Structure 1
Amino acid sequence: MPTIKPFKGVRATADKVAHVISRTYQDYGKKELKAQLKYNPYSFLQILNPGYKFNQEITGLDRYSLVRNRYLEFKEEGYLVEDEKAAFYIYENIDPHHSYTGIIAGTSTDDYLNNKIKKHEDTLSLKENLFKNYLKAAGFNAEPVLLTYEDRSEINQLIAEVKTTAPDQHFSTTDFNSHKIWPVTNPQLIEKIEKEFKELSQLYIADGHHRSASSSLLAQEMGDKKESYKFFMSLLIAESQLNIYEFNRQIKDLNGLNKQEFLMKLDQHFRIQNRGLELYRPSKKHHFSMYLDGEFYSLYLRKGLLKELTPLQDLDPQLLYDLILDPILGIKDLRTDSRIQYSYGKHDLMHMKERVDKREFKVGFGLFPTTVEQMKSIADADLRMPPKSTYIRPKLPSGLIIYEF
């Protein structure tokens, strides 16, 4: 019985919203970030990069307080305005390849602590505390956690009902995305939405484990000082609308093995077929693509091993680690070993091939995407996926709707 609540969102005015919202901060390279800061005074990146105003890089608590100042300036200038009524926000995004609609709401930190909001990734305490301190100093959160739930026709019907009306905001951005927002302020409709979510047994974190953990830490620290600390902003979407992509792996060396020795070790657990220049992509789980020495290979897990798999080993990223990365290539820590790097599905196998051909890496592995069912089974069993097991879309823009504490 998860609890969600409406809140008074802070949003950019209609004439500036397309200029204000930005991609996730980490998405920008140095040159693009500099151009955005130089030529777009309305960008939310101006708030997130307060040192730009002083022509210097600022870090730590000094940065957090300046982020707060830039945010208040945007409100004072009228670029950002708080809504008069608490609302749930129906949000639709259409890009050239996909579309999705979800509900932006406040979700309970108590539900997070009580495991009504289930996790599938470990978090790092250092990152949790850093973001907790940031939220406390800045006083707002501009990037929601992505939560998913089992498809429920009653929720779909309520969303469809709202979408029959004209959106409050409708705009397009230069990345060919169309955005629509419908604030839901009608008390009866709000009550219906809350009731339908209480009928669910749990929610699942799809993306945003550290943001959830940091919000929970902040709630515990602030106690009963303010009700808003007991909730964090989330985008809730039905699991059928999630798009999960794979993270491919590239390794810098063969751990002292030559090519033939390496292939012989792989043969113990996999049926290997040389695909030559064919750009082989795995078509189902437990099949892997490998690029080595100018050629693609398909690796099929031997059928006899399928009966022995644990729920965690059913995940291809874990299987790859248990059978190849650790015992053969000597990679123990997937988070810290400098010999391994990751590229998500957006970059495709061609990106992996190019990096190996340039001799930046010796071998690359392409994986089949993890499914929603696998993600949920790991969370239900209170297990944790290996790092970089999923690249999940949608990715909500920063600054679209802001949750104030």
Structure 2
Amino acid sequence: MPECLPFCAWRYNPEKVKIEEVVAPPYDIVSEKEIEEFKKKSPYNIFHLELPEDYNKAKELLENWKRSKVLIRDEFPTIYFYELEFIYQEKTFIRKGFILLVKLSPFEEGKILPHEKTYPKVTTDRFELLKATQFQFSQIFALYEDPQLKTIKNVNTKHKELLYEIKQKNETHRLYKIFDKEFIKELLKFLKNRNFYIADGHHRYETALKFREYMENIYGRDPYKDYNYTTIYICPIEDENLLMFPTHRVYYFENSEEVIKKFFQFAKIKKSLEIDKNYNFNHFFEKASCEWAILFGKEIKVFTLKEEIFEAIKKEDSLFSEIPLYNFLQILEKILNIKEEDLKEKGKVKFISQKDELIEEVKKGALGVVFPFISPVILKKVAQAKKLMPHKCTYFYPKILTGLILNEVSGKSLKYNENFYE
């Protein structure tokens, strides 16, 4: 099972920067325009490293920031506690989790389990950046099983020290350093026999595996070297504060009306109404696996699969038939005779999580597709079956911030952590 360790993170020096100006959301959920806006906020914004002009420039900046103490390293190994307070539909949630080192394990070993497909082009870009800087600027997000939520309930004020508190819109991010050694040992002991299910960061995890192989060619195989590990943000899959949204689609077709007409071979309309951004789209759906809504022009059409079509899909793959996106793509790809990944390569599809952004694209002439919510339990079932959901099937909300914790993987020894191994 995965071995978890405390570590000495690199992080921003609050005496040198305003922390709210240097952190950012994950790079893959922001637009090019937003990326530039974040870079303009501060010459030390994390996107200057995460999304640099070139890889060597990132390395140069990183070394400058370390020398000038913009970035500082914690002296003693610890585990970081991340508290994310947010409002969704007028209700307050507080999601709690930990950031720690996790020993890398190939997916086929069944210790760390993926749930969705990846694109090689993205992994190549991330690998070249990691090779140049030998730093991880953001964390993989994974889930673990803790039905009684013992791990997060046991954290109290005597265990932790507040490092940062950042308010953004309706979110408050708090990062703590856990200094209680006995608590850390108990947490590591609890996690020792548990699988991790990757929620976000499949490309980053594959990049870390590739980087380990690269470093082993230089330093050889040494279990104590830092490149055997990666930083992961983990939280319990059973936590009701863990919100897993669907990822909606926007398609850019020349003949959207013709495409919609072809859906009637496979599905029927349950209801039709005018687009209104105030709708809670999830209220449209009753049988989640069989339904989706198409937005085009000024109208929303809620479709439900014909029973015989759903039964045929279910017969072919009963597990995947529980996923509305999978069922939708089975139909769309038959209609268009093209895979969604090929549409992505052609710039014909965009993945969107926020309904306001989707409606704006529809106003410009695109065809939008909205999907129902599904339970995080389906992610676990798919991962345990060693299957992969369609790309961008899920969207965990909210995202943790990039730049709060940085991790060095330059071939240094982690032997100072040896007393935490048991």
Task: Report the TM-score when normalising by structure 1.
Answer: 0.84
How many Å apart are 1:109 and its aligned residue?
0.8
Distance 1:197 1:293, change over 3 A: same
- 2:214 is the alignment partner of 1:221: yes
- DSSP-derived class of the 1:102 partner: strand
How many Å apart are 1:254 and its aligned residue?
7.3
- Residues 161 and 179, structure 2, Cα contact 8 Å, conserved in 1: no
Please point out which of 22, 31, 48 is paired with 2:24.
Answer: 22
| The 10-residue stretch of structure 1 (386-395 or 160-169) with the greater mean CA deviation from structure 2 | 160-169
- DSSP-derived class of the 1:122 partner: coil
- DSSP-derived class of the 2:138 partner: coil
- DSSP-derived class of the 2:304 partner: strand
- Residues 253 and 348, structure 2, Cα contact 8 Å, conserved in 1: no
Letter in 1 for 2:178: V
Matched residue, 1:55: none
Distance 2:181 2:357 in 1: 50
Give structure 1 stretches of 5+ with no counterpart: 51-57
- DSSP-derived class of the 2:155 partner: helix
- Residues 159 and 180, structure 2, Cα contact 8 Å, conserved in 1: no
Please point out which of 356, 376, 398 is paired with 2:362.
Answer: 356
- Residues 253 and 339, structure 1, Cα contact 8 Å, conserved in 2: no
Distance 1:125 1:49 in 2: 18
- 2:306 is the alignment partner of 1:302: yes
Matched residue, 1:4: 4
Distance 1:271 1:353 in 2: 23
Matched residue, 2:399: 395
Give structure 2 stretches of 5+ with no counterpart: 410-422
How many Å apart are 1:353 and its aligned residue?
4.2
Matched residue, 1:210: 203
Matched residue, 2:57: 66
- Please give the residue correspondences for 1:155-194 in structure 2 after superposition, counting only pairs within 5 Å: 155-156=150-151, 160-163=154-157, 167-194=161-188
How many Å apart are 1:116 and its aligned residue?
0.7
* Residue correspondences, number: 384
Distance 1:84 1:293, change over 3 A: closer
- DSSP-derived class of the 2:326 partner: helix
Matched residue, 2:231: 233
- Residues 116 and 393, structure 2, Cα contact 8 Å, conserved in 1: no
- Residues 160 and 178, structure 2, Cα contact 8 Å, conserved in 1: no
Distance 1:165 1:64, change over 3 A: same
Distance 1:253 1:185 in 2: 55
- 2:83 is the alignment partner of 1:79: no
Distance 1:273 1:292 in 2: 16
- Residues 109 and 216, structure 1, Cα contact 8 Å, conserved in 2: yes
Q: Deviations over 1:281-340 (max 9, x none)?
A: 3424122112245322221223444444122232111111112x1122333343445374
Matched residue, 2:43: 41
Distance 1:272 1:132, change over 3 A: same
Task: Report the TM-score when normalising by structure 2.
Answer: 0.81
Distance 2:166 2:268 in 1: 48
How many Å apart are 1:3 and its aligned residue?
1.6
Distance 1:299 1:175 in 2: 34
Distance 1:370 1:267, change over 3 A: same
Distance 1:69 1:215 in 2: 21
How many Å apart are 1:132 and its aligned residue?
2.3
Identity %: 21
- Residues 85 and 185, structure 1, Cα contact 8 Å, conserved in 2: no
Matched residue, 1:53: none
Distance 1:256 1:283 in 2: 23
How many Å apart are 1:160 and its aligned residue?
3.4
Distance 2:309 2:29 in 1: 39
Matched residue, 1:199: 193
Letter in 2 for 1:252: Y
Distance 1:24 1:250, change over 3 A: closer
- Residues 159 and 183, structure 2, Cα contact 8 Å, conserved in 1: no
